[in-house]
Structure formats: C-alpha cells, structure tokens
Amino acid sequence: MAILNILKDTDPTLRKTSREVADITPRILTLLDDMKDTMRAANGCGLAAVQVGVLRRIVVIETEESGYIELINPKIVAYSGRQQEAEGCLSVPGRWGITDRPMHVTVKALNRKGEEITLTGKDLLARAFCHELDHLDGVLFTDKAIRMLSRDEIEEG
C-alpha cells in the first residue's frame, strides 16, 4: 500500500466532476487500499478519489459508528432531518466551518466485489456521506458552509 498525496483546495482538479467506474479492476482495488492508508495516515474520516488526483467516483469513509466503508459509484437515494455541525476537510487543512446537512442519509453504491450495497448513516456518518459525495461533483465544504470558524473558535472546540 502507498500513502498518496492529498490535493489542497487551490488545486483545480478538486473542482472537476469525477467519472463513474465501469469495471472494478486490480488498479481500482489498489486505489481503494491506498486511499484507506492515506485517509488513516492523515487522521481523516473520509477521502474521495479526486482528493488524491483520480477522477473516479470512489469514496472511503471510516467512523466509530460505521467502521471502514468503501463506496464505488455512490448515490444518495434518501435523506431526512437536519444538522448544523462543524466540518473540516483533508484538502482544506486548518479550516473548519458550520454546514447544514441532513441528519440521516441513505446511499447506494457498489462494494469492491461489484455488489450493490445500501447504507444508512446518521449524524457524523450522514455528514461524511454528503461531504465525500460532494467531492465527486467538484464541491468543497467551504462552498456549503453557513459560516467559517475563526482560529479562536477552532482552538476552543
């Protein structure tokens, strides 16, 4: 496995729309493994392939609630409720903002075996689904933040 370079918010690649994965090849499986290692090394809870410079609809997420999740060609199929919480991003280091996201989110995707899976998350996992899937369409959390937090607020929280 390899630790990949995470693109920063000034990189124009992050604003591009990712393409669907047509076939789950050994190269895609290696990418999933490398993304997992990269996310963990950076102490993140989610990573989209575009953040490591690969324009494919692939996301990895890991929370206490969910454990480790791999999503290929994910789509949000249902959502409900509302939460306004602090959010950060590995591609936007040192900056945090309050976003307005659904409280519950259901996602359909393929797993690494090509099987369709449906997952529902709440709280942090729901936010992570929305945040990472936004990356696949070239959207950063800073685009959706209701308010960015000051350095003092970050240090207090």
Are 55 and 66 contacting, i.e. CB atoms less than 8 angstroms apart?
no
CA dihedral 57, 63, 65, 67 (to 10 degrees): 70
DSSP secondary structure string, 11-53? -GGGGSPPBPPSS--HHHHHHHHHHHHHHHHTT-SEEEGGGGT
Q: Tell me if residue 64 is catalytic.
A: no
Distance CA(64)–CA(55), nearest Å, equals 28
- Which are the contacts of 55, defined by CB distance < 8 A and separation ≥ 6? 13, 16, 17, 18, 19, 49
* Catalytic-role residue among 20, 62, 132, 155: 132
Residue 19 to residues 22, 87, 122, 137, 138, Cα–Cα distance (Å): 9, 25, 27, 9, 11
- Catalytic residue ranges: 132
